[in-house]
Structures are given as structure tokens and as C-alpha cells.
């Protein structure tokens, strides 16, 4: 047996060693390449998968608080709905996600792309892409859960306005917060974020923070595809505070029916003048807030929203607080009050000529009749323009402006609704601003303004607060709609306490004369004498006809005068008024014909409930008087020696006697 050459063995060992070294090097190179692929080339992919394999928090939206009328009846509530949402941070391929949502679920592409690319929207916040998902939609999402785990169906509360358009301007509506609103400090500081649903009008907007509640959250473990593996825990949402309004549903329905049945537009506001509580508020035309709540995501419902927003009749405008109109002869109650307080007319001598009108320069301004030389009582009862033309000239524009400003004209009332407008009242500076070609205030301007025309343009709620305050002997309350916000586990109950009541010390003779005049308008054959208010209710008021354009240019119903009626009940009794109502019928013609009958029904509903006579509205609607013992007419006010009256702040209305 031959011996192996040591040199050959050494050479073979070296070869094996080299091979081993190269093998080890190859392994390290392969590992390096793999590490490069994992950590550099495919870094984002594997990082996203790693991050997705963790605990997820998904928000649970808090239901908004319900809204009730003063008797606890639902006006606004929530109902269960299934919505489709997409979680941006779970998206692996944005184009695929967009294609799926647009092609399979009918989501609007432009809105979806804008939401996904919004840099201000947190990645963790889901995007609502479709409300009220059908069973077919839900089945489709479930079938594609593996390919699109970022798209989910979730139960979420949806706002429900129980009576549709009823009280829509009071209640308001909701919608997604806009980029412009997010720039508003009041929203930014309160923690609002893109995608939040907020109140956009009415009570929904005024008390949004109270109604919103606090969102909950759910924590789940998900895999790399975003699919839930197991639930960890859940923090339930806390519902927003329920709100009780001052609105009376029965009165609201009755008031709206008066316009709907007659196919007319306009305003009606009913108020408790003793505390400013709004019992009914109507603005016609109206809208259905459910259009906004149901779905503002899909193109189908967005068209419905656009139709409301672009309607030339402006149904979103709350005419009660935003519409500005000349007041017509309703203004005369303030003029009479100012005249007596300034001494332009006195209790002993309040007569002024009517003359069928007045000559001012080269123009003759007509009265609707020829009333001789009435005193202030007859001038109010029969709405004598000639009387108030002359009273206006005696006062002068500066005193008129001073007094109506005291009554709140030309200023906001402070009602707890957004978007209130200020009225315009007679003023020299106003004429300079709007009529630079004829800037000097003239007697003609004073004459026209003294009967609520010309430069006079106020909101119905302004007028109601002012003249209800006069009938309350100078007590002016802030109109409001909030009565109570009920407590939750996070928030205490709240009550309306912002009434900034003001008081003007009126002479007793002034109050007696003006309130007695308003009583006579209804009960002494005045301009509203034919309307048929039950005498037992002691309703007083004032009609008004507000000219839309010059009479010689009137053609068609759309240019007919606006018709006013403002009422107070009871008047000229031992009690202060418990109900004040203003009604404006646009292009209605005369106040007694178009607006006073609406006020009559509103009064009927109020007093039938208060006095326990449900048959009263039906009788009044037929212009029939309830069977009762005759009620003696109040004794005429002795202007020189006024009859004493009680100083009681509150008392019940004398009951109507039925047999």
C-alpha cells in the first residue's frame, strides 16, 4: 500500500478551506441582499404590514341629543343606520380603493379623492363615504373584505326630524364641517376636525356643543390585512344632552297649517310676552331638514340638497329673524307711545286732523279714509294715516328715531338663533348713505316713515318684541327658544338664563291709551273688527299694510302689499298679556283679511289648551262665537283721568264660560 503524499493532502485541505470560505461569503452576500430587500427596497411595504399587525382604535360616534317641544314631544331624534366608511391608514393601493368605491358602490369620485388627499384629516379618522347602506351594499362589502379590508360597514346614528319641514327654521339642520368653518377659531379651539358632523342652522347650530355628546371608541387586534382578530375593549359613546324647547307643537302645527292651506308665504311668531318664550315660529316657504341628514355624500341626495340651496324662493331663509319688511300701520302703536311720552299729544288733547291725507311740498300723501279730527284712540282703532302723518311731523325724525331705538328697532333682539338681522329705521345718516343724490332728510321722508313705510324695514321678531314690550307696560324680554338642556353623566342640566329684560318707564296714561286703542281695533269695530275674535279673550292688536312698490305700478299678486297683524291677549284687563302674535302674509293685501284670521287660530289653540276648551279652535275657524255670558266691554280710558289698573305681574285669563 502506497503512502499519500503530504503535499497532496495539504493542497486538498486548502481547496476545501477555500470552498468553505467562498460558501460562507456567498451566504453572507445572500443575507446582505435579503436584508437590503427587506430594509431598503421593500421597506415601506413591510413596515406598513408590521404596523398593521397591531391594536386598532375605531371611533364610535355619539348620538346627538334629542330635541323636544315644551310638553316633551319629540321634534328631533336619532335612528339607527348603516354607513360605509373607509380607513385611510389601512389602504394598500389608493387607486384600487377608489375604483372599488366608485364603480361598485356609486361613491362620487371627486369628493372621495378630495377627502383621501385632505392633508388636515387625521389618517386614523375614518371617512364616511355612504350613508344608509342597503343590504346589497353590506353584502358587497362583506364579499370583498379580503381584498378591501379598509372598507367597512358600521352602525351609526342618523338624525331624524320627526315632522319633516315643521319648525325647520327653528330646528335647523346638520352637515359635515367645511374647511372654512374649520378655520373659524370657535370650531378650531373646540377640537372640531375634518369629517365632523355639526349643526348648520337653527337650534342645531346654536346649541351644537350641547347636542354633540362625546364619541366612544373600540379597540381591536387586527392582522396585516387590517382584518379584526379579536376585540380588546370598548368605551361606549355618551349621547349629547337632550334639549327642551319653548315651542308648543300644537301651536306650531296650527300656525304652519294657516299658510300651507292657503298656499301663502310669510311669517308667524307667537311669544309669551311675560318671559320671551317663543311658542311658535313659522317661515314660509320651508324645507325638510331630513334632506340634509339623510345623505349628503351620494350624488343623488346631493342634488336634493343643491335644489334646496339654489331655490329662488330661498326656503333656508328664516324670515322671522332675517327677513326685513316695512311695518305698515303696525308701526303706529310705537308712534302713539312716542307721541304721548314726548308730549306731542297729551291725555287732555290728543286730537289731530285727518284731512284725507296731507300736503307735503308739491305732493299730497293720502289717507285710506277721511276721519275728521280723531283722538289717539280713534286714530289707532281706525288706522288713520292722516293723524300719524301729522304726529310724525310734530315729533320729527330725530325723536322718532330716538324712541323706536329705545323699543329695540334697528337692533338685534338677541334671540338664540344664528344669523339674526338688524332692521333699518328712520335716520338722517341712513338717507345720506343710501341716497347721495338727495341726501337731505325732508318732511316727506318723515311723513312716510311715520306710518312704517319708506326707510322703515324691520324683522318680524323685532317688531314683536318692541310692541309686546309696550303692551307689557315697558317690560321688554329677550325672545328665546331654549327652555332646558337635560343632564347626562357628563353634563349638568342647563336652563335658559340669558334673558336681558329691559324696562322703559312709561306713563300710566300712555300705556292705558295705547293698549286700549289696540283693544278697540278688534273689539270696537276697528280695522280687525270683522275677524271674529271671541270677545271673552280680550284680544287687541293692530293691522298693517306694507306697500311693496308704488301702487300705480302694481300688476299681479306678486306685487300686492304685504299684510301684517300683531295681536296681544288679554288686553285692557287686570292681567298682563300672556300671548303676543305677529303674522306677516307676503303679498296678502290687507292685514285684516290675510293675517288676522291666522292669528285668530293661533290664539284659539293657545287659549283652548290653557282654558281646557278643545272645541274653541273649530268654532273660531268657522267665525262662530262660543256660547257664553256676555262680557262687558272695558270702560273707555279717560285720558285726562285714567282708570286705575292692577300692578300684578302675572294672573290667569278670565275663563270663557261655555254652556
Within a domain: 169: yes
Highest mean pLDDT among 21-25, 48-52, 88-92, 474-478: 474-478
- Res 589 pLDDT > 60: yes
| Residues 342 and 424 both lie in one domain | yes
**pLDDT, tens digit, 9 for 90 and up, residues 145-166:** 888 888 988 888 889 999 999 9
| Sequential DSSP letters for 232-286 | EEEE--BPPPPEEES--HHHHHHHHHHHHHHT--EEEEEEETTTTEEEEEEEES-
* pLDDT at position 46: 61
| Residues 535 and 479 both lie in one domain | yes
Q: For the residues 115-141, what does the mean pLDDT come to?
A: 84
Q: Which tops the pLDDT comparison, 19 or 530?
A: 530
Q: Which tops the pLDDT comparison, 59 or 67?
A: 67
Within a domain: 558: yes
What angle is formed at CA 396 by the lines to CA 391 and CA 400, rounded to 5 degrees? Answer: 85
Q: How far is CA 86 from CA 123, 149, 494, in A?
A: 11, 9, 37
Within a domain: 321: yes
Domain boundary among 213, 245, 277: 245
Q: For the residues 138-146, what does the mean pLDDT come to?
A: 89
**pLDDT, tens digit, 9 for 90 and up, residues 338-373:** 999 999 999 889 999 999 999 999 999 999 889 999
Continuous segment of H or E residues that includes residue 428: helix 428-434
| Residues 118 and 215 both lie in one domain | yes
Cβ 504 vs Cβ 535: under 8 Å: no
Distance CA 159, CA 176 (A): 13
* pLDDT at position 635: 42
| Residues 449 and 308 both lie in one domain | yes
Within a domain: 440: yes
- Res 293 pLDDT > 90: no
* pLDDT at position 554: 46
| Residues 148 and 175 both lie in one domain | yes
| Residues 191 and 308 both lie in one domain | no
What is the domain count for the chain? 2
Confidence category of residue 301, pLDDT binned at 50, 70, 90: low
Confidence category of residue 636, pLDDT binned at 50, 70, 90: very low
Q: For the residues 251-270, what does the mean pLDDT come to?
A: 97
Cα 50 to its chain centre, rounded Å, is 50
| Residues 166 and 268 both lie in one domain | no
| Residues 134 and 225 both lie in one domain | yes
Three-state secondary-structure class, residue 118: coil
**pLDDT, tens digit, 9 for 90 and up, residues 236-245:** 999 999 999 9
**pLDDT, tens digit, 9 for 90 and up, residues 550-587:** 443 444 556 789 999 999 999 988 889 999 999 999 99
Grid coordinates standing for 248? 308648543
* pLDDT at position 135: 87
Within a domain: 587: yes
* pLDDT at position 3: 58
Within a domain: 633: no
Return mean pLDDT, the chain. Answer: 86
With left for phi above 0 and alpha for psi between -120 and 50, is residue 489 left, alpha or beta? alpha
Confidence category of residue 310, pLDDT binned at 50, 70, 90: confident
**pLDDT, tens digit, 9 for 90 and up, residues 486-537:** 999 889 999 998 666 789 999 999 999 999 999 999 999 999 999 999 888 9
Counting beta carbons within 10 angstroms of the beta carbon of residue 361, is it exposed (0 to 12), middle (13 to 18) or buried (19 or more)? exposed
Per-residue DSSP letter, 577: P
What angle is formed at CA 258 by the lines to CA 253 and CA 262, rounded to 5 degrees? Answer: 140
Q: Which tops the pLDDT comparison, 623 or 298?
A: 623
| Residues 168 and 230 both lie in one domain | yes
Grid coordinates standing for 2? 502506497
| Residues 474 and 547 both lie in one domain | yes
| Residues 97 and 211 both lie in one domain | yes
Cβ partners under 8 Å of residue 362, min gap 6: none
Distance CA 442, CA 436 (A): 14
- Residue at grid coordinates 364579499: 143
Grid coordinates standing for 208? 351644537
CA 24, 29, 35, 37: dihedral to nearest 10 degrees? -150
- Res 302 pLDDT > 80: no
- Res 203 pLDDT > 90: yes
Q: For the residues 288-311, what does the mean pLDDT come to?
A: 73
* pLDDT at position 650: 33
CATH code, domain carrying 83: 3.90.1310.10
| Residues 154 and 205 both lie in one domain | yes
Within a domain: 452: yes
**pLDDT, tens digit, 9 for 90 and up, residues 271-292:** 999 999 999 999 999 999 998 8
* pLDDT at position 350: 95
- Res 485 pLDDT > 50: yes
Within a domain: 21: no
| Domain extent for 125 | 55-245
Rg (CA), the chain: 36
| Dihedral sign, Cα of residue 616, residue 253, residue 203, residue 465 | negative
Q: Which of 283-297, 380-394, 600-614 has the lowest mean pLDDT?
A: 283-297
- Res 633 pLDDT > 60: no
CB atoms within 10 A of CB 555: 8
Q: For the residues 635-652, what does the mean pLDDT come to?
A: 37
CATH code, domain carrying 326: 3.40.710.10
**pLDDT, tens digit, 9 for 90 and up, residues 416-475:** 999 999 999 989 999 999 999 999 999 999 999 999 999 899 999 999 999 999 999 999
Amino acid at each position: 500500500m502506497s503512502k499519500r503524499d503530504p503535499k497532496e493532502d495539504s493542497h486538498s485541505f486548502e481547496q476545501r478551506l477555500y470552498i468553505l470560505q467562498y460558501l460562507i461569503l456567498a451566504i453572507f452576500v445572500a443575507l446582505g441582499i435579503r436584508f437590503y430587500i427587506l430594509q431598503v427596497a421593500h421597506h415601506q411595504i413591510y413596515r406598513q404590514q408590521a404596523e398593521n399587525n397591531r391594536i386598532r382604535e375605531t371611533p364610535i360616534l355619539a348620538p346627538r341629543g334629542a330635541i323636544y317641544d315644551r310638553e316633551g314631544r319629540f321634534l328631533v331624534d336619532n335612528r339607527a343606520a348603516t354607513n360605509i366608511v373607509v380607513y385611510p391608514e389601512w389602504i394598500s393601493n389608493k387607486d384600487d380603493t377608489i375604483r372599488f368605491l366608485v364603480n361598485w358602490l356609486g361613491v362620487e369620485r371627486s369628493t372621495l379623492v378630495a377627502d383621501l388627499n385632505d392633508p388636515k384629516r387625521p389618517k386614523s379618522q375614518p371617512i364616511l363615504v355612504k350613508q344608509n347602506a342597503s343590504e346589497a351594499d353590506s353584502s358587497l362589502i362583506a364579499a370583498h373584505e379580503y381584498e378591501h379590508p379598509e372598507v367597512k360597514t358600521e352602525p351609526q346614528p342618523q338624525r331624524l326630524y320627526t315632522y319633516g319641514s315643521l319648525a325647520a327654521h327653528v330646528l335647523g339642520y346638520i352637515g359635515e364641517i367645511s374647511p372654512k368653518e374649520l378655520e373659524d377659531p370657535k370650531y378650531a379651539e373646540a377640537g372640531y376636525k375634518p369629517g365632523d358632523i355639526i349643526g348648520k342652522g337653527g337650534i342645531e347650530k346654536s346649541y351644537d356643543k350641547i347636542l354633540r355628546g362625546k364619541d366612544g371608541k373600540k379597540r381591536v387586534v387586527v392582522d396585516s390585512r387590517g382584518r379584526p382578530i379579536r376585540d380588546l375593549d370598548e368605551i361606549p359613546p355618551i349621547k349629547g344632552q337632550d334639549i327642551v324647547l319653548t315651542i308648543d307643537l300644537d301651536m306650531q302645527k296650527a300656525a304652519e297649517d294657516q299658510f300651507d292651506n292657503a298656499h301663502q308665504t310669510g311669517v308667524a311668531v307667537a311669544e309669551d310676552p311675560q318671559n320671551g318664550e317663543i311658542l311658535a315660529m313659522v317661515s314660509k316657504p320651508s324645507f325638510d331638514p331630513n334632506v340634509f341628514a339623510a345623505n349628503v355624500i351620494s350624488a343623488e341626495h346631493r342634488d336634493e340638497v343643491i335644489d334646496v340651496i339654489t331655490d329662488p324662493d330661498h326656503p333656508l331663509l328664516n324670515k322671522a329673524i332675517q327677513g326685513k319688511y316695512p311695518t305698515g300701520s303696525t308701526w303706529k302703536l310705537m308712534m302713539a307711545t312716542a307721541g304721548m311720552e314726548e308730549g306731542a299729544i297729551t291725555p287732555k288733547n290728543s286730537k289731530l286732523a285727518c284731512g284725507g291725507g296731507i300736503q307735503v311740498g308739491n305732493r299730497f300723501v293720502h289717507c285710506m279714509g277721511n276721519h275728521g279730527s280723531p283722538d289717539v284712540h280713534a286714530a289707532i282703532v281706525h288706522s288713520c294715516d292722516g293723524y300719524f302723518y301729522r304726529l310724525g311731523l310734530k315729533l320729527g325724525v330725530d325723536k322718532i328715531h330716538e324712541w323706536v331705538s329705545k323699543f329695540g328697532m334697528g337692533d338685534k333682539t338677541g334671540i338664540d338663533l344664528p344669523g339674526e338681522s338688524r332692521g333699518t329705521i328712520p335716520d338722517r345718516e341712513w338717507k345720506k348713505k343710501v341716497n347721495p343724490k338727495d341726501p337731505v332728510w325732508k318732511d316727506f321722508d318723515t311723513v312716510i316713515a311715520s306710518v312704517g313705510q319708506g326707510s322703515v324695514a324691520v324683522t318680524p321678531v323685532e317688531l314683536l318684541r318692541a310692541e309686546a314690550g309696550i303692551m307689557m307696560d315697558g317690560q321688554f324680554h329677550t325672545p328665546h327658544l331654549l327652555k332646558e338642556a337635560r343632564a347626562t353623566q357628563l353634563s349638568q342640566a342647563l336652563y335658559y338664563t340669558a334673558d336681558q329684560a329691559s324696562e322703559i318707564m312709561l306713563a300710566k296714561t300712555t300705556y292705558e291709551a295705547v293698549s286700549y286703542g289696540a283693544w278697540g281695533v278688534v273689539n270696537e269695530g276697528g280695522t280687525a273688527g270683522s275677524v271674529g275674535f271671541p270677545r271673552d279673550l280680550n284680544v287687541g292688536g293692530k293691522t298693517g299694510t306694507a306697500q311693496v312698490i308704488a301702487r300705480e305700478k302694481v300688476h299681479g299678486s306678486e306685487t300686492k302689499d304685504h299684510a301684517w297683524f300683531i295681536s296681544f291677549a288679554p288686553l285692557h284687563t287686570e292681567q298682563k298679556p300672556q300671548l303676543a302674535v305677529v303674522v306677516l302674509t307676503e303679498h296678502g293685501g290687507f292685514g285684516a283679511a290675510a293675517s288676522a284670521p291666522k292669528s285668530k287660530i293661533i290664539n284659539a289653540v293657545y287659549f283652548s289648551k290653557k282654558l281646557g276648551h278643545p272645541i274653541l279652535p273649530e268654532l273660531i275657524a268657522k267665525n262662530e262665537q262660543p256660547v257664553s255670558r256676555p262680557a262687558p266691554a272695558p270702560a273707555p280710558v279717560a285720558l285726562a283721568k285714567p282708570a286705575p289698573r292692577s300692578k300684578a305681574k302675572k294672573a290667569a285669563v278670565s275663563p270663557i264660560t261655555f254652556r
